[in-house]
Amino acid sequence: MPSRPGCPGRSRVRSAPGQAGLPGVQGALATLARDVIDLACSSQADSVRRCEAHGRVRLFVRDHARRRWCSTCGDRVRAARHQRRVKEQRRATAADA
């Protein structure tokens, strides 16, 4: 990913001496922090959006103009929409019979 102006870039973000390969939660948080810095400094930073699902605080990278939800919520919305269509089709079929 290309670096944005004023950002250190991946090559300059390093672990502190003696902290390389931290175990457990510390290691996971260090990796997460580095990934957040990389994203914030990338060309994708302007595409970070908050999930529009009610009560959600998740962030995601918007990779399509119509995308409004994180992957989890988007899957739920699509599944609910499919179930609603199936239910409507069954009602219509039952009414015709």
Q: What is the pLDDT of residue 2?
A: 54
- The tens digit of pLDDT for each residue in 67-95 reads 888 888 889 888 999 999 999 999 888 88
Q: How far apart are CA 84 and CA 86, in angstroms?
A: 6
Number of neighbours of residue 42 by Cβ within 10 angstroms: 19
Among 9-13, 28-32, 41-45, 64-68, where is mean pLDDT lowest?
9-13
Spatial distance between the Cα atoms of 69 and 55, rounded to a whole number of angstroms: 12
Residue 88 confidence (pLDDT): 94
Whether the CB-CB separation of 64 and 78 falls below 8 Å is answered with no
* Average of per-residue pLDDT values in the chain: 81
Is 60 exceeded by the pLDDT of residue 11?
A: no
What is the per-residue pLDDT across 38-52, written as a single tens digit (0 to 9) for each? 888 888 888 999 998
* C-alpha–C-alpha distance, residues 29 and 18, integer Å: 16
